[in-house]
């Protein structure tokens, strides 16, 4: 279920972790004879069934913090609170803490800058940041600039693990997750991830000997590697390979996490890393119900997932993942009509001239409304007033780029609702425009702008991929906003 996407991933991770806790450090040979087949308790750490480890604790801490925005200091303080058994422990005590994480948290306690707390030597490449990076996926899900994604991943990883190898392992995991969020097949997502990272690496001066370590993942096909050549220690590269291998060589959540756990050694972490993405792929409904119900503090985790969903997942009624090439599309782009007396699809453009009023303020176009609200969001009264007295929507757009104290994350959290509201006013206050929008009925409205990867699809109407949504280069936010406006007008 797409509206449960955070629940899918978070419970996928926690369940995978809990499956591995009782057999952590058991060898593969031992687990061949005594495989994990169901949720069980006690064992290595003498904990009851459904108990999760530091893998889940730190993941939940990160998720909790991201609900209040991206703040490295707050993330690190939540790690410290957990270390002191104040938050996100299954039984009010901590156990199974990695050495690198322990040392980093000691530095956090002494007030060190969070990004300087993680070990940066080659010996500091345990899996302690990879195991907890999953929530960042949802925070970054709409970010198109991979440089920004990499920067965020690097910062969050570096709180405990700052070496390039750890950072890049987290980055691979997040990029694969971003592909999966598009709703495509796991193998196609894997291939896309390889191509994306090939280009990203080519644009950066990374140390080649480090990049070469990821060859089995990025150049070869990790799923083609034999089990004997897959390792499951606490080394970050082993954990990443084992998790991707477990996902790509199985066909269900249950099979993926059991395969991961039964590799032995660092069973809880391999299970958690595998489980997060497997949950994303197969959904919460694919996880055995008794496994989910056994999870300690299940209700608290559900509440956190609901909070994450409210904050990090935009409540759009329409998404690319819900579309297919058999849908009927109405492509539009540009705001000029061949004949002024004839209303055409050009009226769907943000730049189409049609005045409307809100709170005694008249807006000349939907673009004027959008940029004016953007200025007010960042308390830039000067730009706001200029927008209201500027005629050209192009000039208004340029003014929007001059707004002081602009913060992209804050803008991303509000922009869709602003554009939707502006268009609701535009179409509801003009009978002809309203009639035109309503007569599009159930068509998928698509801004076929080859230059806009946010509001449009990043492709022209005549591009061979334009009618295949999974290959769109943009988010089509304007098209989806207009469809929501159409729904609301038709319900009135």
> What pLDDT sits at residue 142?
83
Tell whether residue 64 is among the known ligand binding residues.
no
* Domain end among 312, 344, 364: 312
123 shares its domain with 181:
yes
58 contacts 82 by C-beta, under 8 angstroms: yes
Tell whether residue 54 is among the known ligand binding residues.
yes
368 contacts 388 by C-beta, under 8 angstroms: yes
Position 341 confidence tier, pLDDT thresholds 50, 70, 90: low
Tens-place pLDDT, residues 236-250:
999 999 999 999 999
Tell whether residue 268 is among the known ligand binding residues.
yes
261 shares its domain with 133:
yes
Q: What's the CATH code of the domain at 369?
A: 1.10.357.40
298 shares its domain with 398:
no
Tens-place pLDDT, residues 403-419:
998 988 788 878 998 99
Tell whether residue 55 is among the known ligand binding residues.
yes
Q: How many domains does the chain have?
A: 2
> What pLDDT sits at residue 1?
43
Tell whether residue 142 is among the known ligand binding residues.
no
223 shares its domain with 180:
yes
Q: What's the CATH code of the domain at 139?
A: 1.10.4080.10
Task: Quote the pTM value.
Answer: 0.68
Position 492 confidence tier, pLDDT thresholds 50, 70, 90: confident
* Domain end among 312, 337, 371: 312
Tens-place pLDDT, residues 66-111:
998 899 999 999 999 999 999 999 999 998 898 999 999 999 999 9
> How far, in Å, CA of 377 to CA of 170, rounded?
33
Q: What is the extent of the structural domain holding 481?
A: 320-491
Contacts 24+ apart (CB under 8 A), 35-38: 35/258, 35/262, 36/258, 36/261, 36/262, 36/267, 37/258, 38/288, 38/290, 38/291
Tens-place pLDDT, residues 264-318:
999 999 999 999 999 999 999 999 999 999 999 999 999 999 999 878 875 668 8
56 shares its domain with 178:
yes
131 contacts 59 by C-beta, under 8 angstroms: yes
334 shares its domain with 297:
no
């Amino acid at each position: 279920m797409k509206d449960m996407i955070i629940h899918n991933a978070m419970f996928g991770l926690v369940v995978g972790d809990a499956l591995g806790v009782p057999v952590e450090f058991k060898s593969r040979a031992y687990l061949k004879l005594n495989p994990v087949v169901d949720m069980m308790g006690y064992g290595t750490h003498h904990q009851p069934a459904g108990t999760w480890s530091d893998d889940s604790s730190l993941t939940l801490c990160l998720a909790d913090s991201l609900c209040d925005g991206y703040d490295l200091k707050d993330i690190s303080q939540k790690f410290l609170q957990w270390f002191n058994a104040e938050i996100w422990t299954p039984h009010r005590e901590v156990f199974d803490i990695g050495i690198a994480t322990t040392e980093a948290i000691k530095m956090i306690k002494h007030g060190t800058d969070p990004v300087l707390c993680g070990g940066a030597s080659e010996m500091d490449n345990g899996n302690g940041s990879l195991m907890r990076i999953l929530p960042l996926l949802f925070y970054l899900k709409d970010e198109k600039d991979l440089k920004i994604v990499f920067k965020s991943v690097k910062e969050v990883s570096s709180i405990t693990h700052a070496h390039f190898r750890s950072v890049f392992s987290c980055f691979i995991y997040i990029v694969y997750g971003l592909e999966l969020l598009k709703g495509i097949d796991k193998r196609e997502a894997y291939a896309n991830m390889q191509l994306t990272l090939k280009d990203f690496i080519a644009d950066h001066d990374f140390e080649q000997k480090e990049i070469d370590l990821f060859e089995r993942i990025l150049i070869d096909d990790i799923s083609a590697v034999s089990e004997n050549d897959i390792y499951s220690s606490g080394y970050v590269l082993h954990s990443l390979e084992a998790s991707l291998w477990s996902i790509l060589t199985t066909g269900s959540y249950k099979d993926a996490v059991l395969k991961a756990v039964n590799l032995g050694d660092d069973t809880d972490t391999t299970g958690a890393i595998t489980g997060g993405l497997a949950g994303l792929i197969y959904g919460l409904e694919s996880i055995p119900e008794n496994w989910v119900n056994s999870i300690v503090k299940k209700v608290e985790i559900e509440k956190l997932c609901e909070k994450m969903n409210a904050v990090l997942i935009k409540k759009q009624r329409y998404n690319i993942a819900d579309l297919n090439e058999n849908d009927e599309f109405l492509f539009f782009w540009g705001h000029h009509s061949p004949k002024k007396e004839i209303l055409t699809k050009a009226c769907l453009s943000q730049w189409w001239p049609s005045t409307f009023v809100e709170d005694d303020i008249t807006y000349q176009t939907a673009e004027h409304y959008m940029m004016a609200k953007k200025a007010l969001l960042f308390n830039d009264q000067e730009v706001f007033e200029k927008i209201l007295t500027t005629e050209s929507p192009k000039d208004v757009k340029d003014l929007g780029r001059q707004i002081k104290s602009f913060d992209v994350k804050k803008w991303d959290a509000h922009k869709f609702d602003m554009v939707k509201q502006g268009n609701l006013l535009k179409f509801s206050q003009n009978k002809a425009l309203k009639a035109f929008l309503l007569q599009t009925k159930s068509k998928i409205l698509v801004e076929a702008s080859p230059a806009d990867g946010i509001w449009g699809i990043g492709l022209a109407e005549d591009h061979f991929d334009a009618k295949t949504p999974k290959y769109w280069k943009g988010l089509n936010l304007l098209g989806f906003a207009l469809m929501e406006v159409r729904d609301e007008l038709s319900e009135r």
